[in-house]
Chain A
């Protein structure tokens, strides 16, 4: 069962996404800020069951604890540094094309605007189907 790390600071969004992913047959662990997200990932990385994919909110508390626009991008870079082939999808409430370009340049595999998340499961399935 593929294991997904979900980091989002909105409790309702986080829980709802988690349920969707659980239903779809994935194992899901959650965090509400960059620091906790990275800690979870690092712990799993050194265990027999590392994460297979990460879903990161774009705007959430950053590593310094303050709410930061684009904090998810920093976590993205830290995760990719730990595991270059990790598939990461960025979640956001805003259409910001420059953020997309930044995210893809940092190694993100997908980008999903909240409220249009019908495509999210398709994106995840497609990633796990890749050879």
Chain B
């Protein structure tokens, strides 16, 4: 092989190694991961004894070793090894002049100080890390061979250093962006928190004020020999009303913030439950579910709260009736719900503020937290909600909730004969189908028939109050076989059912998996 071909081959090998380093380093965007890996990547690609990366510090006077190969590198980084820019070191000079430098037989190089951590170094090259006009620092590569580098190698190794500089620059930019974003987020969160806290305290202060002034008035009046009974009763009403509003705020602010436990949810049933819990007059609500709509992935207790707020909103807007349309969303990962009412509607200027807390068109008797609470619940569930409205025509709430795709589970175990106490709604039909398909004997009735192994009572029963049905089952001695199922758990009702002797009060199963779990109880 002629010396010329040898030289070409060597250049090819070095260029390949440069490309290899470039390919690997540009994939790493985390600066803390990039630098330590870089020195290993360089040493492995070229077979070098040592490589180290220096970056300019904030003062702009020093280059600081940020990563070095092996134990030597680790110790030098730990000791805060740094060199003055433009000082006598190869790295310092290289950084200032933006030019690669080579030292061979390092012990004799006058500008180099012998490094006790790297006793075997015989050749060293320092390469500037430059992106555009900006110098970031320098990289050192060292070999145990004497005369390991020639002037010709500078070009190929500088290509490697340029790749590295771009990767470092990208990682630094990303880090700066992340820092700025975190800072912005902190500022914004704090602003939002301050604004809403101030508003809440202001609002509560306004509601407390009548209590203190009324109490002062009552005390003064009671000190008189004669007092106006009617006026005192009114004063008490003022106190009562103020307290009610404050408690309502507590419930609306704290309720949606409670822990969310998402699970597959049948939205038609959840909306039905919301209507029953909020005491919606019968015949007001129509639920239309397009067959084949997937279940949603949501915390049903929270969802009952959110839909309850939307339904109350429609009733308060004097809706003659409300239609809930549930269907697959255009994006298959979501389920779409529209709550459509033919009430008064909202003008544009109110619509803009509809999601803000403490904004209401319904007078001072309403805290104006229903829609913000619904927004909070649906956002927490990774869904979206928006509203369109026409004054005099009505309002439509558009809701998207993440879809849940459940796998059918084994239903054969547990109870054989089941009494299902429920209205003839889509949940009862679907559940009855699943149980029958699994070989269960399902009876649907509002009262005890035969001797079932298990009785399921839907709490949101429209045909009769659930409490009455449960009392009758208890009187018949079958409360211990009875499970009350509900879309939204509530403490007072749960206590009452448990005291009536039912076996348990559980979240309503919407999937075969949940149903199988319930049957095992």
Interface residues of chain A, those whose CB is within 8 Å of chain B, are: 92, 95-97, 99-101, 103-104, 108-113, 115-116, 119
Q: How far is the CA of A103 from the CA of B498 in the complex (A)?
A: 11
A sample of 21 inter-chain contacts (CB < 8 A) reads A92-B491, A95-B255, A95-B490, A95-B491, A97-B489, A97-B490, A97-B491, A97-B494, A99-B491, A100-B491, A100-B495, A100-B498, A101-B494, A101-B498, A101-B504, A104-B498, A108-B495, A109-B499, A110-B495, A116-B492, A119-B492
Q: How far is the CA of A97 from the CA of B261 in the complex (A)?
A: 13
Partner of B250, one of A96, A100, A112, A115: A115
- Residues B237-268 near A (CB distance < 8 A): 247, 250, 255
CB distance from A91 to the nearest CB of B (A): 11
Q: How far is the CA of A112 from the CA of B493 in the complex (A)?
A: 11
* Cβ contacts under 8 Å, B490 to chain A: 95, 97
Interface flag for B130 (CB, 8 Å): no
* Cβ contacts under 8 Å, A97 to chain B: 489-491, 494, 505
Q: How far is the CA of A96 from the CA of B495 in the complex (A)?
A: 11
Q: How far is the CA of A40 from the CA of B377 in the complex (A)?
A: 44
- Residues B463-521 near A (CB distance < 8 A): 489-492, 494-495, 498-499, 504-505
Count of A-B residue pairs with CB < 8 Å: 38
Given contacts A115-B247, A115-B250, contact A96 B491 (CB under 8 A): yes
Q: How far is the CA of A112 from the CA of B490 in the complex (A)?
A: 11
The residue in chain B whose Cβ has the minimal distance to the Cβ of A93 is: B250
- Residues B332-384 near A (CB distance < 8 A): none
The residue in chain A whose Cβ has the minimal distance to the Cβ of B490 is: A95
* Cβ contacts under 8 Å, A109 to chain B: 499
* Cβ contacts under 8 Å, A119 to chain B: 492
CB distance from B484 to the nearest CB of A (A): 12
* Cβ contacts under 8 Å, B255 to chain A: 95
CB distance from B500 to the nearest CB of A (A): 11
* Cβ contacts under 8 Å, A116 to chain B: 492
6 closest A-B pairs by beta carbon, nearest first, are A111-B495, A97-B489, A115-B247, A104-B498, A95-B491, A100-B491
* Cβ contacts under 8 Å, A96 to chain B: 491
Q: How far is the CA of A75 from the CA of B255 in the complex (A)?
A: 27
The residue in chain A whose Cβ has the minimal distance to the Cβ of B486 is: A97
Q: How far is the CA of A97 from the CA of B301 in the complex (A)?
A: 11
CB distance from A114 to the nearest CB of B (A): 9
CB distance from A46 to the nearest CB of B (A): 30
Q: How far is the CA of A96 from the CA of B490 in the complex (A)?
A: 8
CB distance from A120 to the nearest CB of B (A): 11
CB distance from B521 to the nearest CB of A (A): 13
The residue in chain B whose Cβ has the minimal distance to the Cβ of A90 is: B495
Q: How far is the CA of A115 from the CA of B490 in the complex (A)?
A: 15
Of B247, B494, B495, which is in contact with the most chain A CB atoms at under 10 Å from its CB? B495
The residue in chain B whose Cβ has the minimal distance to the Cβ of A114 is: B247
CB distance from B367 to the nearest CB of A (A): 14
The residue in chain A whose Cβ has the minimal distance to the Cβ of B248 is: A115
CB distance from B237 to the nearest CB of A (A): 15
* Cβ contacts under 8 Å, B495 to chain A: 100, 103-104, 108, 110-111
Contact with A along B298-324 (1 / 0, CB 8 A): 000000000000000000000000000
* Cβ contacts under 8 Å, B504 to chain A: 101
The residue in chain B whose Cβ has the minimal distance to the Cβ of A95 is: B491
Of B255, B490, B491, B499, which is in contact with the most chain A CB atoms at under 10 Å from its CB? B491
Q: How far is the CA of A29 from the CA of B462 in the complex (A)?
A: 44
Q: How far is the CA of A104 from the CA of B497 in the complex (A)?
A: 11
* Cβ contacts under 8 Å, A99 to chain B: 491
B499 and A104 contact, CB distance less than 8 A: yes
Q: How far is the CA of A87 from the CA of B385 in the complex (A)?
A: 47
The residue in chain B whose Cβ has the minimal distance to the Cβ of A104 is: B498
Q: How far is the CA of A119 from the CA of B255 in the complex (A)?
A: 21
B494 and A100 contact, CB distance less than 8 A: yes
- 16 A-B pairs besides A96-B491, A108-B495 with CB distance below 8 A are A95-B255, A95-B491, A97-B491, A100-B494, A100-B498, A101-B498, A101-B504, A103-B495, A104-B495, A110-B495, A111-B492, A111-B494, A111-B495, A113-B492, A115-B247, A116-B492
CB distance from B218 to the nearest CB of A (A): 16
Q: How far is the CA of A95 from the CA of B247 in the complex (A)?
A: 13
Partner of A111, one of B250, B489, B491, B505: B491
* Cβ contacts under 8 Å, A112 to chain B: 492
CB distance from B431 to the nearest CB of A (A): 22
Q: How far is the CA of A95 from the CA of B495 in the complex (A)?
A: 11
The residue in chain B whose Cβ has the minimal distance to the Cβ of A92 is: B491
A110 and B499 contact, CB distance less than 8 A: yes
Q: How far is the CA of A43 from the CA of B141 in the complex (A)?
A: 84
Q: How far is the CA of A119 from the CA of B492 in the complex (A)?
A: 10
B491 and A113 contact, CB distance less than 8 A: yes
Q: How far is the CA of A113 from the CA of B254 in the complex (A)?
A: 14
* Cβ contacts under 8 Å, A103 to chain B: 495
CB distance from B140 to the nearest CB of A (A): 59
